[in-house]
Amino acid sequence: MKKIIVLNGPNLNLLGTREPEKYGSSTLADVETLCIDTAKRLGFDVEFLQSNHEGPLIDKIQEAGLAHRAGTVQGIVFNPGAYTHTSVALHDAIAAMSGLPVIEVHISNVHAREAFRHHSYISPVAAGIVIGFGIQGYALAMEGLAQKS
Protein backbone atom coordinates (compact mmCIF):
# COMPACT_ATOMS: atom_id res chain seq x y z
CA MET A 1 0.00 0.00 0.00
CA LYS A 2 1.29 3.48 -0.88
CA LYS A 3 2.17 5.85 1.90
CA ILE A 4 1.53 9.54 2.54
CA ILE A 5 4.25 11.25 4.57
CA VAL A 6 3.10 13.96 7.00
CA LEU A 7 5.85 16.36 8.02
CA ASN A 8 5.64 19.04 10.70
CA GLY A 9 8.23 21.69 11.35
CA PRO A 10 9.31 23.64 14.41
CA ASN A 11 7.04 24.20 17.39
CA LEU A 12 4.21 22.08 16.03
CA ASN A 13 4.94 19.65 18.85
CA LEU A 14 3.42 22.38 21.06
CA LEU A 15 -0.01 22.28 19.39
CA GLY A 16 -2.78 22.40 21.95
CA THR A 17 -0.82 24.61 24.34
CA ARG A 18 0.88 27.15 22.05
CA GLU A 19 -1.32 30.15 21.26
CA PRO A 20 -4.62 28.23 21.17
CA GLU A 21 -6.39 31.39 19.96
CA LYS A 22 -4.41 31.03 16.69
CA TYR A 23 -3.89 27.28 16.43
CA GLY A 24 -6.80 25.82 18.38
CA SER A 25 -6.75 23.28 21.19
CA SER A 26 -5.99 20.19 19.11
CA THR A 27 -2.66 18.51 19.77
CA LEU A 28 -0.16 16.98 17.36
CA ALA A 29 -1.50 13.60 18.51
CA ASP A 30 -4.95 14.75 17.36
CA VAL A 31 -3.46 15.68 13.96
CA GLU A 32 -1.92 12.22 13.72
CA THR A 33 -5.23 10.53 14.57
CA LEU A 34 -7.02 12.63 11.95
CA CYS A 35 -4.37 11.73 9.36
CA ILE A 36 -4.47 8.01 10.19
CA ASP A 37 -8.25 7.98 9.84
CA THR A 38 -8.12 9.97 6.59
CA ALA A 39 -5.37 7.81 5.11
CA LYS A 40 -7.27 4.64 5.97
CA ARG A 41 -10.42 6.00 4.32
CA LEU A 42 -8.40 6.93 1.21
CA GLY A 43 -6.52 3.62 1.06
CA PHE A 44 -3.07 4.80 2.15
CA ASP A 45 -0.65 4.16 4.95
CA VAL A 46 0.72 7.22 6.72
CA GLU A 47 4.07 8.09 8.28
CA PHE A 48 4.74 11.10 10.54
CA LEU A 49 7.75 13.20 11.40
CA GLN A 50 7.90 16.37 13.46
CA SER A 51 11.22 18.13 13.86
CA ASN A 52 12.40 21.43 15.25
CA HIS A 53 15.44 21.11 12.95
CA GLU A 54 15.73 21.39 9.15
CA GLY A 55 18.07 18.44 8.63
CA PRO A 56 15.66 15.61 9.50
CA LEU A 57 12.94 17.27 7.39
CA ILE A 58 15.29 17.54 4.40
CA ASP A 59 16.39 13.92 4.85
CA LYS A 60 12.75 12.75 4.90
CA ILE A 61 11.89 14.81 1.78
CA GLN A 62 14.79 13.21 -0.09
CA GLU A 63 13.86 9.74 1.14
CA ALA A 64 10.22 10.32 0.13
CA GLY A 65 11.31 11.51 -3.31
CA LEU A 66 13.16 8.27 -3.95
CA ALA A 67 10.24 6.24 -2.61
CA HIS A 68 7.84 8.20 -4.82
CA ARG A 69 9.92 7.29 -7.87
CA ALA A 70 9.79 3.66 -6.73
CA GLY A 71 6.00 3.89 -6.45
CA THR A 72 5.70 3.42 -2.69
CA VAL A 73 4.98 7.03 -1.60
CA GLN A 74 2.06 9.10 -2.91
CA GLY A 75 3.43 12.41 -1.64
CA ILE A 76 3.97 14.65 1.37
CA VAL A 77 1.65 16.79 3.47
CA PHE A 78 3.96 19.42 4.97
CA ASN A 79 3.38 22.05 7.61
CA PRO A 80 6.82 23.69 7.67
CA GLY A 81 5.88 26.08 10.48
CA ALA A 82 8.21 29.08 10.65
CA TYR A 83 10.56 27.45 8.13
CA THR A 84 7.93 28.39 5.53
CA HIS A 85 9.22 31.95 5.66
CA THR A 86 12.95 31.29 6.05
CA SER A 87 14.13 28.03 4.53
CA VAL A 88 15.69 28.04 1.12
CA ALA A 89 17.11 24.62 2.07
CA LEU A 90 13.62 23.07 2.34
CA HIS A 91 12.60 24.75 -0.93
CA ASP A 92 15.66 23.27 -2.63
CA ALA A 93 15.05 19.79 -1.18
CA ILE A 94 11.51 19.75 -2.56
CA ALA A 95 12.65 21.14 -5.93
CA ALA A 96 15.38 18.48 -6.15
CA MET A 97 12.75 15.73 -5.81
CA SER A 98 10.94 16.76 -9.00
CA GLY A 99 7.72 14.87 -9.45
CA LEU A 100 7.17 14.39 -5.70
CA PRO A 101 3.89 16.14 -4.85
CA VAL A 102 4.11 18.20 -1.67
CA ILE A 103 1.03 19.90 -0.26
CA GLU A 104 1.87 22.85 2.01
CA VAL A 105 -0.46 23.13 5.01
CA HIS A 106 -0.96 25.89 7.57
CA ILE A 107 -3.43 25.65 10.43
CA SER A 108 -3.96 29.42 10.66
CA ASN A 109 -4.48 31.85 7.79
CA VAL A 110 -0.91 33.11 7.50
CA HIS A 111 -2.04 35.91 5.17
CA ALA A 112 -4.19 37.40 7.93
CA ARG A 113 -1.20 37.54 10.27
CA GLU A 114 2.11 39.41 10.44
CA ALA A 115 3.53 40.62 7.11
CA PHE A 116 6.62 38.38 7.37
CA ARG A 117 4.32 35.34 7.27
CA HIS A 118 2.91 36.33 3.87
CA HIS A 119 5.93 35.00 1.97
CA SER A 120 6.55 31.28 1.57
CA TYR A 121 9.70 29.66 0.23
CA ILE A 122 7.73 26.41 0.02
CA SER A 123 4.73 27.54 -2.06
CA PRO A 124 6.61 27.89 -5.38
CA VAL A 125 7.60 24.20 -5.26
CA ALA A 126 4.38 22.89 -3.69
CA ALA A 127 1.77 21.00 -5.71
CA GLY A 128 -0.92 22.72 -3.62
CA ILE A 129 -1.53 24.80 -0.53
CA VAL A 130 -4.17 24.49 2.22
CA ILE A 131 -4.33 27.47 4.57
CA GLY A 132 -6.58 28.46 7.45
CA PHE A 133 -8.82 25.42 7.94
CA GLY A 134 -7.38 24.40 11.31
CA ILE A 135 -6.14 20.83 11.58
CA GLN A 136 -8.79 19.79 9.05
CA GLY A 137 -6.39 21.22 6.48
CA TYR A 138 -4.26 18.07 6.87
CA ALA A 139 -7.21 15.90 5.79
CA LEU A 140 -7.95 18.24 2.87
CA ALA A 141 -4.31 18.02 1.78
CA MET A 142 -4.39 14.23 1.97
CA GLU A 143 -7.52 14.16 -0.16
CA GLY A 144 -5.72 16.34 -2.70
CA LEU A 145 -2.75 13.97 -2.74
CA ALA A 146 -5.08 11.03 -3.29
CA GLN A 147 -6.21 12.71 -6.52
CA LYS A 148 -2.62 12.96 -7.82
CA SER A 149 -1.30 9.95 -9.68
Tens digit of each residue's pLDDT (9 = 90 or more) over 2-21: 999 999 999 999 999 988 88
Of 113, 108, 47, the C-alpha closest to 75 is 47
CATH hierarchy code of domain 3-147: 3.40.50.9100
The tens digit of pLDDT for each residue in 67-103 reads 999 999 999 999 999 999 999 999 999 999 999 999 9
Annotated binding-site ranges: 79, 85, 92, 107-108, 117
Annotated binding-site ranges for substrate: 79, 85, 92, 107-108, 117
- The catalytic residues are 23, 106
- Indicate whether this model's pTM tops 0.75: yes
